[in-house]
Structure formats: structure tokens, C-alpha cells
Amino acid sequence: MEENAISLKEISKSFGTVKVLDNVDFDLKKGSVHALVGGNGAGKSTLMKILTGVYSHDQGTILVDGKPAEMKTYSDAVNKGISLIFQELSLIPTLSIVENIFLNRELSRFRVLSKAKMRTRSLELLAELGISADPSMLIKDLDVGVCQMIEIAKAMAVNARVIIMDEPTASLTEKETETLFGLVGQLKKKGVSIIYISHRMNEVFKICDEISVLRNGKVVAHRKTADYTLETLIGDIIGNKERKAFVHTSREDQISDETLLEVRNLSMGLRLQDVSFRLRRGEILGFAGLMASGRTETLEALFGVQPSDSGTVILEGTPRRFRSVQEAIRAGVVLIPEDRRREGLVLEHSVLENLCLPNLNGLMRGFKLNRRLAGELASDSVDEFKVKTPSVQTVMEDLSGGNQQKVVIAKWLKTKPKVLMMDEPTAGIDIGAKAEIMQLVRDFASKKNGVIFVSSELTELMAVCDRVLIFQKGRIVGEMLASQIQDEEVLQHAIQH
Ligand SMILES: Nc1ncnc2c1ncn2[C@@H]1O[C@H](COP(=O)(O)OP(=O)(O)OP(=O)(O)O)[C@@H](O)[C@H]1O
Ligand SMILES: [Mg+2]
């Protein structure tokens, strides 16, 4: 019996003159979970899109169950039992959950499936995924985490034999992630084979049987997970590049006693109660807490996204109340939102246009955009933030996921804010780029600015923050200095007790 569900042989692909995949071999054993890892822009998503007929390839062969297969369109892949959970969500916001799950399939495979049956099947799938939403709800009314789960439900609805998950946990809560991992285990038992793409190494070690590493379009290593340690895996991913330390360096001398932002008794229904804190100039302040503990709500209240019921916000000594996002930006307070794919970027527009969007004030001459200034701003940003893109004219869609996120961070930092709020800023960012972004955040803070940093990755909070506030059920229940947090468990304990 054929051992491999999928074999990719000598796959090569260029976009224009840029070769993004070079002679790639990849075997997926039946019933196994195979991790595909590598830096931003290494070619992971492109390889998976080739396997599923979304992109064509220039050279090479795809074997399904040992037999050569032509993948001309995504339907070819679905018909062979292969489905892809896209990194960039592919759901249609104006349609319902059930319509999205069965999109394009009502006619082909489910010709005789009635509305009632589709609804029942959707309910089953949602229950398996631990989601309590009604199938008739519209996608646009759902949280991004729920959307991610629906994306997964959509892949499962075809009873796929091979499921490809391209960074499925980037927008999931810890609980949703656990549910997903449980499901991966069940799928494996049923003989389903899974290709798992993630930048989170702990996930890879937890659920994957083997690991292939892509670097600059080439497979540089393939081993059983058991034969890897975190150190050796990271070494393979970033190659001989110097490994930047991802540890906390004391910045005490850079933090002044001067208060930059003070928040007093911020309340918002039951979601936020009496939140008070100070952010000093030069300080990086972390918010730690579980989902819905009030971290994102506080940021949104400060940024003018969600009106608060009561409370005072004092910026540089002056009481302020931002009724809109524009007012906040003008005052120098910006928020890089959690869901950058929906709120942070216009994917159909170029890198240049995206970078210039929040910076228009400085770029206009009368009613005209100063093209030279816009071009300079864009190319400076690309250099400074090491965005991997063929040019500033490239449309955002054609950048790898992690590079799209760097553009979002760049565009907000270029507005020269005083207070930078970041909600899960490194989701989908590779290990090398994470260290770079941490350094950018530190440099920004040290110029007498302030940073509020929300992250579910505790190691990251510990590495970057000078002080961490602990949120529980809409309140601040504790505070820790970086020097008081010896290890992750101390912080974990504070969040949950
Ligand atoms: N449609 C496209 N047109 C032109 N270039 C593209 C296109 N899609 C991807 N690329 C380029 O191909 C390279 C590989 O991108 P890919 O999305 O496969 O990376 P990735 O490994 O998935 O990265 P990430 O971890 O950031 O998601 C990148 O340099 C990217 O800019
Ligand atoms: Mg990708």
C-alpha cells in the first residue's frame, strides 16, 4: 500500500523573475501530522496553494496516493479529498455560516442536499469545534476567532483525507486552540493526514510527527519531531543568520518618572470596571490576561473605537476624550489591532498605498498627494522594517502573511505616535522578525514615547515589557515589574488566580 497521501516532487515556481520555490520535495505520510515551517516569505503558503490548484507550478509533479494528479483549480483538489484552510480568511462576510461552509459545493457534491440538511450538518460541525453560533448568523457579525473555526468547519465539511492548515491558530484563543488540537488528534485517528503551518514552535512540537523546514524556497531539512530540539529547529529555520537574543534587557535608565498617559476609573458596562493605570515616558507596559479579561476593551476605549461609560484619560497632562479613531490618531495615540487582516490593511492596494494611508496629512500638497514624498516614505519603511517585497508598488495580497503584518506596524509607527498600543502584534511573524519587531518597539519607547503591549504569548510579554498589569474579568487585579517575573509560570499563575 502506498505510504504517502501526498508526494510533491521537484516543485519549482517563479513569480515574474523571482524564484520562490526551488526543486521542493515534500512527502505527507498517511495519518500523520507534518509541520511545514520557515521564515516569512519562505514559500510555505505558495507550496500549499500549488498543491491545491490555487496556483500553477512551473515544474515538478504532484502525486496523490502515489498517482500523478493534475491540480488545475481548487475544485480538483477538493474532489481528491484535499482541502486548504487559508492563512488569509476566505469567508464571505455578507453570507451566513452555513452558506459559507457549503459555498460552491451546494451544486457539485451536494446536489441533492436540502437547506435543512446543510443546517443540520453545520450544527454538527460547529458542535465538534465547540462553537455555539447559529448557522444562520452572518460572518461579518462574528469574532475573528470564530471565523477561523468556521474556516476549519468548511474544510471538514468535505470529509477531506488531507487537510492543510496554514497558521490556523494565529487568531484563536487558547481554549479554541486546545479544541483544534483535540480535533487534530481525532482526525489523525480517522486516518486523515494533516499539513500544519505555524510560527509557534510549541504547537509544532506538541502536535506534529515530523517537520520540514523551508528557507528561501528550498527544503533545507526534514526530520522526525523527536529528532529536533527547539534550538536545532530554530537554527534550521533561520540558517546561519545571527540568532538575536529574545530575552529581556533592562531598560530602567530609559524610563522617566514623568507620566505620559494616565487612565482613571475607565468603565464600560460589565466588560471594564474601574480600570486605572499610568504609562510613563519611555515605558513598555504589558497587559496580561485571559480572553475577554478586558485587555482589548481597554485599548479600544482608549483609541475611541468603543465609547466608555465613564472614566478620565489624561494625555501629557491634559484630559482627553476621543470620540473617534481620527481624534485619537491626531492626538498621537494609535492602536495596531488584533485582527490586522480585517482592520489593518487594504489587501487589493499596493504596499505604498497602505503605508501612506494613515500618513496622508504629511504627504498632501494642497489637494494632491506628493508622489515623491509618498515614494520616499514607502521605500524608507520597507528598508527600516525589512519588509520582503519585490517593490513598493506590489499589491499587499502578493506579500507573505508575516510581511503584510510588518507593513501594518510600519504604517502606524510612521504616523509618529506618542502612545503606541499593540494587540497581539507578532501573530504570524517569524522568529527572526519577532526579534526585529521587539527591537523596533524598544527603540520607539526609548524616544520618550510609551507602549502598551498585549500578547497571549507570555514569553513575549516577559521579553519586551518593563511592567505587566494583570487583567481579570474587566479589572486590573495586579501588577508585576519585569524583575519580579522569574519565569512564565509566575505570570501564568497571576493570570489564572
Ligand atoms: N501572487 C503572488 N505574486 C507575486 N509574488 C508572490 C505571490 N504570492 C507570494 N509571493 C511571494 O512569494 C514568496 C513566498 O510567499 P509565501 O506567501 O509562500 O510565504 P510564506 O512562507 O507563506 O510566509 P509567511 O510565513 O509570512 O506566511 C514571497 O516573497 C511573496 O512575496
Ligand atoms: Mg504564508
Among residues 167, 214, 234, the alpha carbon closest in space to that of 429 is found at 167
Name the architecture of domain 244-332+417-497.
3-Layer(aba) Sandwich (3.40)
Looking at residue 494, its pLDDT comes to 82
How does pLDDT run across 426-484, given as a tens digit for each residue? Answer: 877 887 778 778 888 888 999 999 999 998 878 788 888 999 999 999 999 999 988 88
| Cα 226 to ligand 2 centre (Å) | 25
Cα 305 to Cα 421: distance, rounded to the nearest angstrom: 13
Most confident of 29-38, 324-333, 484-493: 29-38
Instruction: Give the separation between CA 170 and CA 45, rounded to whole angstroms.
Output: 14
Number of the ligand closest to the Cα of 48:
1
Mean pLDDT over 354-382 rounds to 79
- Give the mean model confidence (pLDDT) for residues 325-338: 88
pLDDT at 488: 75
SS3 at position 424: coil
Q: What angle, rounded to 10 degrees, do the helices at 144-156 and 115-128 form?
A: 120
Domain residue spans in the chain?
4-238, 244-332+417-497, 346-413
As a whole number of angstroms, the distance between CA 459 and CA 131 comes to: 29
State in Å: Cα 190 to ligand 2 middle: 27
Alpha-carbon distance values, 216 to 24, 88, 407 (Å): 11, 21, 20
User: What pLDDT, on a 0 to 100 scale, did the predictor assign at position 277?
Assistant: 97
User: Between 26 and 461, where is the model more confident?
Assistant: 26
pTM score, whole prediction: 0.74
Ligand 1 centroid from CA 459, angstroms = 28
Confidence band, pLDDT 50/70/90 cuts, at residue 178: confident
State the virtual CA torsion across 290, 294, 295, 299 in degrees, nearest 10. 160
pLDDT exceeds 80 at position 221: yes
Cβ(473) – ligand 1 distance below 6 Å: no
Q: How confident is the model at residue 108 (pLDDT cuts 50, 70, 90)?
A: very low
Ligand 1 pocket test target in 12, 14, 15 with most atoms within 8 Å of CB? 15
Report pLDDT for 367.
67
Q: Find where cell 533592562 sits.
A: 250
pLDDT in tens, 290-300: 877 899 899 99
pLDDT surpasses 80 at 224 = yes
Higher pLDDT, 367 or 245: 367
Closest by CA to 167, choosing from 320, 300, 48, 6, is 48
Percent of the chain with pLDDT over 70: 92
489, pLDDT greater than 80: no
Cell for 354? Answer: 497602505
| b/e burial code for range 242-275 (CB count within 10 A of at least 16 → b) | eeeeeebeebeebbeeebbbbbeebbbeebbbeb
63 pLDDT above the threshold of 80: yes
**Atom of ligand 1 minimally distant from the CA of 390:** 31
Closest CA to 337 of 296, 283, 304, 385: 296
Residue 87 CA to ligand 1 centre (angstroms): 11
pLDDT of the residue at 111: 53
Amino acid in the structure at residue 297: E
| Secondary structure string (H, E, C) spanning 39-101 | CCCCCHHHHHHHHCCCCCCCEEEEEECCEECCCCCHHHHHHCCEEEECCCCCCCCCCEHHHHH
Distance (Å, rounded) from C-alpha 405 to C-alpha 66? 38
Give residue-wise pLDDT tens across range 388-421.
899 999 998 888 877 888 888 888 888 889 999 9
In this prediction, residue 284 carries a pLDDT of 96
Judged against a pLDDT cut of 70, whether residue 112 lies above it is answered with no
The residue with greater pLDDT, 192 or 432, is 192
CATH topology of domain 4-238: Rossmann fold (3.40.50)
pLDDT at residue 244 greater than cutoff 60: no
Q: Is the C-beta atom of 452 inside 6 A of ligand 1? A: no
Residue corresponding to grid cell 505620559: 260
Q: How confident is the model at residue 495 (pLDDT cuts 50, 70, 90)?
A: confident
- Residue ranges of alpha helices (H) inside 369-470 are 371-384, 401-413, 431-446, 458-464
CB of 148 closer than 6 angstroms to any ligand 1 atom? no
pLDDT (mean) for 183-199: 91
Pocket test for ligand 1, best of 394, 400, 429, 436 (most atoms within 8 A of CB): 400
Best of 21, 89, 399 for a ligand 1 pocket test (most atoms within 8 Å of beta carbon): 399
Closest approach atom of ligand 1 to CA 388: 29
pLDDT of residue 286: 96
Whether 107 shows a pLDDT value over 50: the answer reads no
- pLDDT of residue 93 exceeding 50: yes
The finding on whether 41 has its CB within 6 A of some atom of ligand 1 is yes
Tell me the CA–centroid distance for residue 458 and ligand 2, in Å: 24
Residue of 190, 194, 93, 198 whose CA lies nearest to 150: 93
Q: How many Cα atoms are found within 13 Å in the side-chain-facing hemisphere of 127?
A: 6
**287 pLDDT more than 90:** yes
| 4-238 matches 244-332+417-497 in fold | yes
